[in-house]
A and B are shown apart, each in its own frame.
Chain A
Amino acid sequence: MSDTVIVIPARNEAPALGGVLQEIRKISMQVIVVDDASSDETSHVARENGAEVLSLVIQLGAWGATQTGLRYALRQGAQTVITLDADGQHEPAHIVDLLRPLHEGTADVVIGSCPMRVSALRRLAWNYFRWLTRLRMDDLTSGFRAYNRRAMEILASREATLLDYQDVGVLMIMRAKGLRVSEVAVEIGLRRNGVSRVFHSWWVVMRYMIETTVLCLANVGGQTSLQKRDLEVEQPERTP
Protein backbone atom coordinates (compact mmCIF):
# COMPACT_ATOMS: atom_id res chain seq x y z
CA MET A 1 0.00 0.00 0.00
CA SER A 2 1.22 3.50 -0.81
CA ASP A 3 2.00 6.08 1.86
CA THR A 4 -1.03 8.25 1.08
CA VAL A 5 -4.45 6.70 0.69
CA ILE A 6 -7.81 8.23 -0.16
CA VAL A 7 -10.75 6.92 1.86
CA ILE A 8 -14.26 7.51 0.53
CA PRO A 9 -17.26 6.53 2.67
CA ALA A 10 -20.18 5.80 0.35
CA ARG A 11 -23.78 4.77 0.80
CA ASN A 12 -25.94 4.36 -2.29
CA GLU A 13 -23.67 6.67 -4.26
CA ALA A 14 -23.39 4.60 -7.44
CA PRO A 15 -24.51 7.43 -9.78
CA ALA A 16 -21.95 9.96 -8.51
CA LEU A 17 -19.10 7.71 -7.38
CA GLY A 18 -17.84 6.79 -10.86
CA GLY A 19 -17.20 10.44 -11.75
CA VAL A 20 -15.43 11.08 -8.45
CA LEU A 21 -13.14 8.07 -8.91
CA GLN A 22 -12.33 9.05 -12.48
CA GLU A 23 -11.29 12.50 -11.24
CA ILE A 24 -9.05 10.91 -8.62
CA ARG A 25 -7.45 8.64 -11.21
CA LYS A 26 -5.86 11.75 -12.72
CA ILE A 27 -3.72 12.19 -9.59
CA SER A 28 -2.92 8.46 -9.32
CA MET A 29 -3.53 7.73 -5.66
CA GLN A 30 -4.72 4.55 -4.05
CA VAL A 31 -8.41 4.71 -3.19
CA ILE A 32 -10.39 2.76 -0.61
CA VAL A 33 -14.17 3.02 -0.93
CA VAL A 34 -16.03 2.00 2.22
CA ASP A 35 -19.44 0.81 1.12
CA ASP A 36 -21.80 1.59 4.01
CA ALA A 37 -24.27 -1.27 3.42
CA SER A 38 -25.48 0.17 0.13
CA SER A 39 -28.44 -1.35 -1.63
CA ASP A 40 -27.31 -0.12 -5.06
CA GLU A 41 -24.25 -0.82 -7.22
CA THR A 42 -21.83 1.31 -5.19
CA SER A 43 -19.33 -1.54 -4.61
CA HIS A 44 -19.47 -2.60 -8.24
CA VAL A 45 -18.92 0.96 -9.52
CA ALA A 46 -16.00 1.40 -7.10
CA ARG A 47 -14.29 -1.82 -8.25
CA GLU A 48 -14.91 -0.99 -11.91
CA ASN A 49 -13.06 2.27 -11.36
CA GLY A 50 -10.05 0.65 -9.72
CA ALA A 51 -10.82 1.28 -6.04
CA GLU A 52 -10.34 -1.21 -3.24
CA VAL A 53 -13.69 -1.83 -1.55
CA LEU A 54 -14.49 -2.46 2.11
CA SER A 55 -18.10 -3.62 2.39
CA LEU A 56 -19.87 -3.05 5.69
CA VAL A 57 -22.66 -5.54 6.30
CA ILE A 58 -24.37 -3.17 8.75
CA GLN A 59 -24.84 0.54 8.10
CA LEU A 60 -22.46 2.46 10.39
CA GLY A 61 -22.98 5.97 9.04
CA ALA A 62 -20.44 8.30 7.45
CA TRP A 63 -18.11 8.37 10.46
CA GLY A 64 -18.29 4.61 11.07
CA ALA A 65 -17.42 4.03 7.42
CA THR A 66 -14.60 6.58 7.54
CA GLN A 67 -13.19 4.98 10.68
CA THR A 68 -13.22 1.60 8.94
CA GLY A 69 -11.11 3.13 6.17
CA LEU A 70 -8.72 4.64 8.74
CA ARG A 71 -8.34 1.32 10.55
CA TYR A 72 -7.68 -0.52 7.30
CA ALA A 73 -5.18 2.08 6.08
CA LEU A 74 -3.35 1.84 9.43
CA ARG A 75 -3.17 -1.92 9.19
CA GLN A 76 -1.77 -1.62 5.70
CA GLY A 77 0.91 0.79 6.89
CA ALA A 78 -0.33 4.02 5.30
CA GLN A 79 1.18 7.22 6.70
CA THR A 80 -1.45 9.68 5.49
CA VAL A 81 -5.14 9.41 4.72
CA ILE A 82 -7.32 11.81 2.77
CA THR A 83 -11.07 11.49 3.24
CA LEU A 84 -13.59 12.91 0.83
CA ASP A 85 -17.27 12.50 0.13
CA ALA A 86 -18.59 10.21 -2.58
CA ASP A 87 -21.18 12.69 -3.82
CA GLY A 88 -18.74 14.76 -5.86
CA GLN A 89 -18.73 17.84 -3.62
CA HIS A 90 -14.99 17.75 -3.03
CA GLU A 91 -12.57 18.64 -5.77
CA PRO A 92 -9.66 16.13 -5.81
CA ALA A 93 -7.44 18.87 -7.22
CA HIS A 94 -7.36 20.40 -3.71
CA ILE A 95 -5.79 17.27 -2.19
CA VAL A 96 -2.30 18.73 -2.64
CA ASP A 97 -3.40 21.80 -0.64
CA LEU A 98 -4.55 19.54 2.20
CA LEU A 99 -1.34 17.53 2.18
CA ARG A 100 0.99 20.55 2.31
CA PRO A 101 0.63 21.35 6.07
CA LEU A 102 1.05 17.64 6.88
CA HIS A 103 4.23 17.39 4.84
CA GLU A 104 5.55 20.61 6.35
CA GLY A 105 4.87 19.16 9.80
CA THR A 106 2.70 22.08 10.91
CA ALA A 107 -0.50 20.06 11.41
CA ASP A 108 -1.74 16.55 12.26
CA VAL A 109 -5.15 17.07 10.66
CA VAL A 110 -6.04 19.40 7.82
CA ILE A 111 -9.65 20.27 7.09
CA GLY A 112 -10.75 21.42 3.65
CA SER A 113 -12.92 24.30 4.75
CA CYS A 114 -15.71 26.08 2.91
CA PRO A 115 -18.12 27.56 5.48
CA MET A 116 -19.93 29.64 2.86
CA ARG A 117 -21.39 26.56 1.22
CA VAL A 118 -24.04 26.05 3.89
CA SER A 119 -27.29 27.86 4.64
CA ALA A 120 -27.61 30.68 7.17
CA LEU A 121 -29.54 28.33 9.45
CA ARG A 122 -26.75 25.78 9.51
CA ARG A 123 -24.19 28.52 10.11
CA LEU A 124 -26.30 29.53 13.11
CA ALA A 125 -26.15 25.93 14.38
CA TRP A 126 -22.37 25.91 13.90
CA ASN A 127 -22.05 29.14 15.90
CA TYR A 128 -24.08 27.53 18.67
CA PHE A 129 -21.80 24.47 18.76
CA ARG A 130 -18.68 26.66 18.59
CA TRP A 131 -19.97 28.60 21.59
CA LEU A 132 -20.75 25.38 23.44
CA THR A 133 -17.45 23.64 22.74
CA ARG A 134 -15.05 26.58 22.22
CA LEU A 135 -13.91 24.89 19.02
CA ARG A 136 -12.23 27.39 16.72
CA MET A 137 -12.75 25.73 13.34
CA ASP A 138 -14.66 27.61 10.64
CA ASP A 139 -16.08 24.46 9.06
CA LEU A 140 -17.33 21.89 11.58
CA THR A 141 -18.75 19.30 9.22
CA SER A 142 -16.44 19.11 6.23
CA GLY A 143 -15.61 15.51 5.34
CA PHE A 144 -12.71 16.67 3.15
CA ARG A 145 -9.77 16.08 5.50
CA ALA A 146 -6.20 14.88 5.64
CA TYR A 147 -4.88 12.90 8.62
CA ASN A 148 -1.32 11.97 9.50
CA ARG A 149 -0.39 8.67 11.13
CA ARG A 150 -0.79 9.95 14.70
CA ALA A 151 -4.25 11.35 13.99
CA MET A 152 -5.23 8.07 12.29
CA GLU A 153 -4.17 6.07 15.34
CA ILE A 154 -6.20 8.27 17.67
CA LEU A 155 -9.31 8.32 15.51
CA ALA A 156 -9.22 4.59 14.82
CA SER A 157 -9.42 3.87 18.55
CA ARG A 158 -12.43 2.45 20.38
CA GLU A 159 -13.31 5.73 22.04
CA ALA A 160 -14.06 7.27 18.64
CA THR A 161 -16.22 4.34 17.57
CA LEU A 162 -19.53 5.28 19.18
CA LEU A 163 -19.66 8.65 17.44
CA ASP A 164 -22.47 8.93 14.93
CA TYR A 165 -21.22 11.95 13.01
CA GLN A 166 -17.78 13.02 11.85
CA ASP A 167 -18.08 16.61 13.08
CA VAL A 168 -18.13 18.02 16.62
CA GLY A 169 -17.44 14.74 18.47
CA VAL A 170 -14.45 13.92 16.27
CA LEU A 171 -13.11 17.48 16.53
CA MET A 172 -13.39 17.35 20.32
CA ILE A 173 -11.40 14.11 20.46
CA MET A 174 -8.73 15.72 18.26
CA ARG A 175 -8.52 18.67 20.63
CA ALA A 176 -8.49 16.46 23.74
CA LYS A 177 -5.59 14.46 22.33
CA GLY A 178 -3.62 17.57 21.46
CA LEU A 179 -3.73 17.09 17.69
CA ARG A 180 -2.82 20.16 15.67
CA VAL A 181 -5.73 20.93 13.37
CA SER A 182 -5.51 23.47 10.60
CA GLU A 183 -7.97 24.53 7.94
CA VAL A 184 -7.34 25.17 4.28
CA ALA A 185 -9.89 27.07 2.22
CA VAL A 186 -11.21 24.93 -0.63
CA GLU A 187 -14.04 25.18 -3.11
CA ILE A 188 -16.84 22.74 -2.40
CA GLY A 189 -19.32 22.15 -5.18
CA LEU A 190 -22.91 21.04 -5.27
CA ARG A 191 -23.78 17.42 -4.63
CA ARG A 192 -24.14 15.43 -7.82
CA ASN A 193 -27.13 13.75 -6.26
CA GLY A 194 -29.04 16.68 -4.80
CA VAL A 195 -29.97 16.72 -1.12
CA SER A 196 -27.95 15.84 2.00
CA ARG A 197 -28.27 12.20 2.99
CA VAL A 198 -27.55 12.93 6.64
CA PHE A 199 -30.01 15.80 7.14
CA HIS A 200 -32.87 14.68 4.96
CA SER A 201 -35.67 15.83 7.27
CA TRP A 202 -36.35 18.33 10.04
CA TRP A 203 -36.83 15.47 12.49
CA VAL A 204 -33.30 14.22 11.76
CA VAL A 205 -31.94 17.76 12.12
CA MET A 206 -33.65 18.15 15.50
CA ARG A 207 -32.33 14.79 16.71
CA TYR A 208 -28.85 15.74 15.53
CA MET A 209 -29.02 19.07 17.40
CA ILE A 210 -30.14 17.41 20.65
CA GLU A 211 -27.66 14.51 20.45
CA THR A 212 -24.74 16.78 19.59
CA THR A 213 -25.67 19.19 22.40
CA VAL A 214 -25.65 16.27 24.87
CA LEU A 215 -22.29 15.13 23.48
CA CYS A 216 -20.86 18.65 23.91
CA LEU A 217 -22.18 18.96 27.47
CA ALA A 218 -20.92 15.48 28.37
CA ASN A 219 -17.43 16.47 27.27
CA VAL A 220 -17.24 19.77 29.13
CA GLY A 221 -14.04 19.52 31.17
CA GLY A 222 -13.40 16.07 29.71
CA GLN A 223 -10.15 17.08 28.10
CA THR A 224 -7.94 15.68 30.86
CA SER A 225 -9.87 12.46 31.36
CA LEU A 226 -9.74 11.74 27.66
CA GLN A 227 -5.98 12.26 27.62
CA LYS A 228 -5.49 9.85 30.49
CA ARG A 229 -7.13 6.94 28.74
CA ASP A 230 -4.98 4.50 26.87
CA LEU A 231 -5.46 4.10 23.19
CA GLU A 232 -5.99 0.88 21.39
CA VAL A 233 -3.70 1.39 18.45
CA GLU A 234 -4.14 -0.51 15.21
CA GLN A 235 -0.96 -2.37 14.37
CA PRO A 236 0.24 -2.60 10.79
CA GLU A 237 -0.56 -6.00 9.36
CA ARG A 238 2.38 -8.33 8.95
CA THR A 239 2.37 -9.41 5.34
CA PRO A 240 3.38 -13.02 4.81
Chain B
Amino acid sequence: MIPYQWTTAIIGFLIAGSILFLVRRDHMHGPYAVWWLASSAVVVLISLFPGFINLVAGRLGIAYPPILPVFVGMGLILIKMLTMDLERSRQELKLRRLTQRLAMLEATLEPVRNAEPDSKPGADTPEEKPVSAR
Protein backbone atom coordinates (compact mmCIF):
# COMPACT_ATOMS: atom_id res chain seq x y z
CA MET B 1 0.00 0.00 0.00
CA ILE B 2 1.39 3.48 -0.95
CA PRO B 3 1.65 6.20 1.73
CA TYR B 4 -1.42 8.47 1.83
CA GLN B 5 0.80 11.52 1.17
CA TRP B 6 1.37 10.19 -2.35
CA THR B 7 -2.36 10.08 -3.05
CA THR B 8 -2.94 13.61 -1.72
CA ALA B 9 0.14 14.92 -3.57
CA ILE B 10 -1.02 13.40 -6.89
CA ILE B 11 -4.50 14.92 -6.47
CA GLY B 12 -2.97 18.28 -5.49
CA PHE B 13 -0.61 18.34 -8.50
CA LEU B 14 -3.44 17.31 -10.85
CA ILE B 15 -5.62 20.21 -9.64
CA ALA B 16 -2.72 22.69 -9.75
CA GLY B 17 -1.67 21.44 -13.20
CA SER B 18 -5.18 21.83 -14.58
CA ILE B 19 -5.40 25.41 -13.27
CA LEU B 20 -1.97 26.30 -14.66
CA PHE B 21 -2.93 24.80 -18.02
CA LEU B 22 -6.11 26.93 -18.15
CA VAL B 23 -4.23 30.08 -17.16
CA ARG B 24 -1.45 29.47 -19.69
CA ARG B 25 -4.03 28.88 -22.44
CA ASP B 26 -5.59 32.30 -21.66
CA HIS B 27 -8.88 30.75 -20.63
CA MET B 28 -8.82 32.83 -17.49
CA HIS B 29 -8.61 36.58 -17.10
CA GLY B 30 -5.77 37.97 -14.90
CA PRO B 31 -7.48 38.69 -11.54
CA TYR B 32 -9.27 35.33 -11.57
CA ALA B 33 -6.02 33.54 -12.48
CA VAL B 34 -4.34 34.98 -9.35
CA TRP B 35 -7.07 33.50 -7.11
CA TRP B 36 -6.87 30.09 -8.76
CA LEU B 37 -3.07 29.98 -8.81
CA ALA B 38 -3.02 30.77 -5.09
CA SER B 39 -5.64 28.05 -4.51
CA SER B 40 -3.60 25.52 -6.48
CA ALA B 41 -0.45 26.41 -4.47
CA VAL B 42 -2.34 25.84 -1.20
CA VAL B 43 -3.71 22.51 -2.48
CA VAL B 44 -0.19 21.32 -3.40
CA LEU B 45 1.30 22.42 -0.07
CA ILE B 46 -1.43 20.76 1.98
CA SER B 47 -1.24 17.57 -0.08
CA LEU B 48 2.57 17.41 0.36
CA PHE B 49 2.49 18.21 4.07
CA PRO B 50 -0.85 16.91 5.42
CA GLY B 51 0.64 16.86 8.93
CA PHE B 52 0.45 20.67 8.87
CA ILE B 53 -3.33 20.39 9.20
CA ASN B 54 -2.99 18.33 12.38
CA LEU B 55 -0.57 20.89 13.79
CA VAL B 56 -2.84 23.89 13.12
CA ALA B 57 -5.98 22.04 14.24
CA GLY B 58 -4.27 21.08 17.49
CA ARG B 59 -3.28 24.70 18.14
CA LEU B 60 -6.84 25.86 17.44
CA GLY B 61 -8.35 23.25 19.75
CA ILE B 62 -10.12 21.35 16.96
CA ALA B 63 -10.70 17.75 18.07
CA TYR B 64 -11.12 16.31 14.57
CA PRO B 65 -8.39 17.87 12.32
CA PRO B 66 -9.70 16.74 8.87
CA ILE B 67 -12.72 19.02 9.34
CA LEU B 68 -10.47 22.11 9.36
CA PRO B 69 -9.66 22.17 5.59
CA VAL B 70 -13.29 21.27 4.82
CA PHE B 71 -14.53 24.19 6.95
CA VAL B 72 -11.99 26.66 5.56
CA GLY B 73 -12.64 25.44 2.01
CA MET B 74 -16.40 25.91 2.39
CA GLY B 75 -15.84 29.44 3.70
CA LEU B 76 -13.58 30.30 0.78
CA ILE B 77 -16.09 28.87 -1.72
CA LEU B 78 -18.80 31.07 -0.17
CA ILE B 79 -16.56 34.15 -0.46
CA LYS B 80 -15.68 33.25 -4.03
CA MET B 81 -19.34 32.85 -4.99
CA LEU B 82 -20.18 36.18 -3.38
CA THR B 83 -17.43 37.99 -5.27
CA MET B 84 -18.53 36.27 -8.49
CA ASP B 85 -22.08 37.60 -8.07
CA LEU B 86 -20.74 41.07 -7.26
CA GLU B 87 -18.65 40.94 -10.42
CA ARG B 88 -21.62 39.71 -12.45
CA SER B 89 -23.72 42.60 -11.15
CA ARG B 90 -20.99 45.07 -12.12
CA GLN B 91 -20.83 43.54 -15.58
CA GLU B 92 -24.63 43.62 -15.91
CA LEU B 93 -24.59 47.33 -15.08
CA LYS B 94 -21.89 47.97 -17.67
CA LEU B 95 -23.75 45.88 -20.26
CA ARG B 96 -27.00 47.76 -19.72
CA ARG B 97 -25.34 51.19 -19.87
CA LEU B 98 -23.45 50.13 -22.99
CA THR B 99 -26.60 48.81 -24.65
CA GLN B 100 -28.36 52.10 -23.91
CA ARG B 101 -25.41 54.10 -25.19
CA LEU B 102 -25.27 52.09 -28.39
CA ALA B 103 -28.96 52.74 -29.04
CA MET B 104 -28.44 56.48 -28.42
CA LEU B 105 -25.41 56.57 -30.68
CA GLU B 106 -27.26 54.80 -33.49
CA ALA B 107 -30.15 57.25 -33.20
CA THR B 108 -27.72 60.17 -33.33
CA LEU B 109 -26.05 58.76 -36.44
CA GLU B 110 -29.29 57.87 -38.19
CA PRO B 111 -29.67 61.23 -40.00
CA VAL B 112 -26.16 60.74 -41.41
CA ARG B 113 -26.95 57.17 -42.48
CA ASN B 114 -30.19 58.27 -44.09
CA ALA B 115 -28.36 60.97 -46.02
CA GLU B 116 -26.20 58.32 -47.69
CA PRO B 117 -27.39 57.18 -51.11
CA ASP B 118 -29.30 53.83 -51.23
CA SER B 119 -29.79 53.82 -47.44
CA LYS B 120 -32.92 52.48 -45.81
CA PRO B 121 -34.03 54.08 -42.49
CA GLY B 122 -33.39 51.80 -39.52
CA ALA B 123 -32.12 48.94 -41.65
CA ASP B 124 -30.32 46.32 -39.59
CA THR B 125 -27.26 44.52 -40.78
CA PRO B 126 -27.32 40.79 -39.89
CA GLU B 127 -24.96 41.22 -36.92
CA GLU B 128 -27.21 43.91 -35.45
CA LYS B 129 -30.21 41.64 -34.94
CA PRO B 130 -31.64 42.04 -31.44
CA VAL B 131 -31.07 39.37 -28.83
CA SER B 132 -32.96 38.57 -25.68
CA ALA B 133 -30.62 38.43 -22.71
CA ARG B 134 -32.95 38.86 -19.73
Contacts and interface: CB of A to CB of B under 8 A. Distances in A.
Interface in B110-131: 121-122, 124, 128-131
Interface stretch (A53-61, A96-104, A116-124, A222-230): A53-61
Contacts of B107: 52-55, 72
B7 interface: no
B104 interface: yes
Interface stretch (B17-25, B32-40, B44-52, B95-103): B95-103
Nearest to B132: A59
A113 interface: no
Given A56-B103, A57-B103, A37 B96 contact: no
Contacts of A67: 100
A71 interface: yes
A60 B92 contact: no
A42 B103 CA distance: 15
B47 to A, nearest CB: 41
Nearest to A156: B100
A58 B129 CA distance: 9
Contact of B122 (A55, A75, A161, A162): A55
A110 B128 CA distance: 36
Interface string A22-66: 000000000000110111000110010000111111111100100
A161 B99 CA distance: 11
A158 interface: yes
B134 interface: yes
B89 A58 contact: no
A57 B104 contact: no
B106 interface: yes
Nearest to A162: B93
A55 B121 CA distance: 12
**Size range of the interface on A?**
20 to 34
A54 B92 contact: no
B128 A72 contact: no
Given A72-B104, A162-B89, A43 B122 contact: yes
Nearest to A234: B104
A35 B132 CA distance: 12
A62 to B, nearest CB: 11
A123 B108 CA distance: 41
Contacts of A158: 93, 97
Nearest to B107: A54
Given A47-B121, A68-B100, A237-B108, A57 B131 contact: yes
Can you list the 8 inter-chain pairs with the closest CB atoms, starting with the nearest? A37-B130, A54-B103, A68-B100, A58-B133, A59-B132, A58-B99, A72-B104, A59-B134
28 contacts: A34-B103, A37-B131, A38-B130, A43-B122, A47-B121, A53-B107, A54-B107, A55-B122, A55-B124, A56-B100, A56-B103, A57-B99, A57-B129, A57-B131, A58-B133, A58-B134, A59-B130, A59-B132, A60-B96, A60-B99, A60-B100, A64-B96, A71-B100, A71-B104, A158-B93, A161-B93, A162-B89, A162-B93
Given A57-B102, A72-B107, 17 more contacts: A34-B103, A37-B131, A52-B107, A53-B122, A54-B103, A54-B104, A54-B106, A55-B106, A57-B129, A57-B130, A58-B95, A58-B99, A60-B96, A67-B100, A68-B100, A71-B100, A162-B89
Interface of B: 89, 92-93, 95-97, 99-100, 102-104, 106-108, 121-122, 124, 128-134
